[in-house]
Structure 1
Amino acid sequence: MTRPITPRAHAIPARALLTLLLALALVPGNALAWGRLGHRLVAALAWDELTPQTRRAIDALLAGESDPTLPGIASWADELREHDPDLGKRSSKWHYVNIAEDDCVYVQARHCPNGGDCVVEAIRTQTAILADRDQPRTARLQALKFVVHFVGDVHQPLHAGYASDKGGNDVQVNLNGKGSNLHSLWDSGMLNAAGLDEAVWLQRLRALPLAVPMAREALPPASAEWAEASCQIAIRPGLYPAKAVIGPDYLQTWRPVAEVQLRRGGAQLAATLNAALGG
């Protein structure tokens, strides 16, 4: 499959490039899928579809948390770098899997060989811990936080994209005069550019058709299938913009795709949690 043209293939004037690089220095690092808003939206959408038994189990696990809700813990795994650097470092590879160079076909031995250091296997491993009633409560609570976050991550297309550009992190873009990168644009830039608050976003996303058959309530979760579907979006023509400056046409084309992925992520997370906690 022909690799989409990236902005790196275009000559950018030296002064403009310097300005862009200086702006990029202010952009947070990678491994942030959907940003705080997107992760909260996935978690809130999932809560809508949980069974009463699953909700009771989650409430029991979250008792004592500063914000004892699914949206309240949705960004916890991204915040580990500040609050628990050791765990943040150990789990840094659990947020993504690079399969675009292999036609979006996931093969564990090739893409996740080192004890499950990728989002596909992390979802499976953490869901198994969450579902195991013999595990300590602290372990199951941590697993819940990871599952809520990683199911969101795997539905962000560039978290299943190309290794060669670090899932779009190396592709420079500019939106509304601010330097960023393609990965960050998909994480939060496109959502934030809409100027909607969380309540309005939820109303908008809840109105979308599910767009996929309801996820099976079975374990292990179908995380490899989710990654492959996300990857197929990442390699679509046009997702890598032809120019570094992002205009309204790009947002009009791709923001609806991101919205569908958020909706799917919520549905798949709900099914995963129902399977792990509702039985």
Structure 2
Amino acid sequence: MKTAVLAFSAALFAPGAYSWGLVGHATVGYVAQHYLDGAAKILTSHLLDGVPLANVASWADSFRYTDAGAFSAHLHYIDAHDQVPNKCGVKLERDCPPEGCIVTAIANYWIEVLTGRPVTQTSRILDDKLSKEERANALKFVVHFLGDITQPLHTENLDVGGNTITVTWGGNDAASKTNLHAVWDTKIVETLAGGSTLAAADTLSKSIITDIESGIYKDQKESWTSCGSIKRGTGCPKAWAQDANQFVCTNVLVDGADAVRGQDVSGAYYEKNVPIARQQLAKGGYRLGLWLNAIAKAEQKKC
């Protein structure tokens, strides 16, 4: 999704379309909300006027299509120029352009085009010199990007992150035609959640939280945040991108793009990959909660 294909990408990501979908991002938000400590609850509630994280989790996808938000379009992904399906991997120096990518956006080092100066989103959340709206927007970026980076095709360059891999969902007629990126963004998650609403996301998040607390994710969750702290710059975001990218080779395109191109992926493909999508949503929500706790802790140290 480099400059040469930005126009094409913009056509594919029409206004109103969402990475991970409304349900996916809201699920991440609901899970994160559960793990906020007292300080983070106070900070996020203040900046968002009491609006839950789930309700603002897709804001960045709409904002990118406004004149004010156009600068942020390339911050939703990183294009791994790897060798799918034989070898997957993210290399920051190779895959993240000077203008930034999702790894540097989460690490908070990118250029704000309106001022031409380096800024950090985390710093902007905590910057009392900024307006409340500016700080709230920085928070909403962080909420969104920690969801985006768990979607495997947001970490892959091949076929514009799967956007040019035409597939069908639930049939072989024109109405069923979609692309693999959209399948991962919306079809898999909405089918898993049983709907396309915030209520469906809330229900899904509750089952995920149960699994984090006492189920299949209980013994995994510690490894999800083992990369370190927010002070490590690109350390954690790069590790998270690498984690998501591995699934491009092991699951998303295990036999290459041609193996799924033109196929109905609502059956066996869905059944194989829905556990991965659910796990990635769990990772995003759990990481986001702890990330916001760390930001709020930094806020307290200012006092």
| Conservation of the 8 A alpha-carbon contact between 2:24 and 2:201 | no
1:60-79 matched pairs, under 5 angstroms: 60-63=46-49, 68-79=51-62
CA displacement at 1:159 relative to structure 2: 0.2
Partners of 1:198 and 1:28 in 2: CA distance? 22
* Aligned-residue CA RMSD (Å): 2.4
**For 1:138, which of 133, 138, 141 is the aligned residue?**
133
Unaligned runs of 5+ in 2: 1-10, 109-120, 212-216, 299-303
Equivalent residue letter for 2:63: L
SS in 1 for 2:69: helix
**For 1:200, which of 199, 203, 208 is the aligned residue?**
203
SS in 1 for 2:250: coil
User: 1:155–1:263: structure 2 CA closer, same or farther, 3 Å change rule?
Assistant: same
Aligned residue number for residue 250 of structure 2 = 236
Aligned residue number for residue 96 of structure 1 = 77
| Conservation of the 8 A alpha-carbon contact between 2:148 and 2:154 | yes
| Conservation of the 8 A alpha-carbon contact between 2:64 and 2:72 | no
Aligned length: 246
Partners of 2:295 and 2:51 in 1: CA distance? 19
Partners of 2:95 and 2:288 in 1: CA distance? 23
Partners of 1:262 and 1:122 in 2: CA distance? 19
Q: If the length of structure 2 is used for normalisation, what is the TM-score?
A: 0.74
CA displacement at 1:207 relative to structure 2: 2.5
Partners of 1:272 and 1:39 in 2: CA distance? 16
Equivalent residue letter for 1:250: Y
Partners of 1:60 and 1:223 in 2: CA distance? 26
SS in 1 for 2:167: strand
Aligned residue number for residue 12 of structure 1 = none
Give aligned-pair identity as a percent: 31
**For 1:47, which of 21, 30, 33 is the aligned residue?**
33
Equivalent residue letter for 1:119: I
Q: If the length of structure 1 is used for normalisation, what is the TM-score?
A: 0.80
| Conservation of the 8 A alpha-carbon contact between 2:81 and 2:95 | no
Partners of 2:98 and 2:252 in 1: CA distance? 33
**For 1:127, which of 95, 118, 122 is the aligned residue?**
122
CA displacement at 1:139 relative to structure 2: 2.3
Equivalent residue letter for 1:80: F
Aligned residue number for residue 105 of structure 1 = 90
User: 1:238–1:231: structure 2 CA closer, same or farther, 3 Å change rule?
Assistant: closer
Unaligned runs of 5+ in 1: 1-25
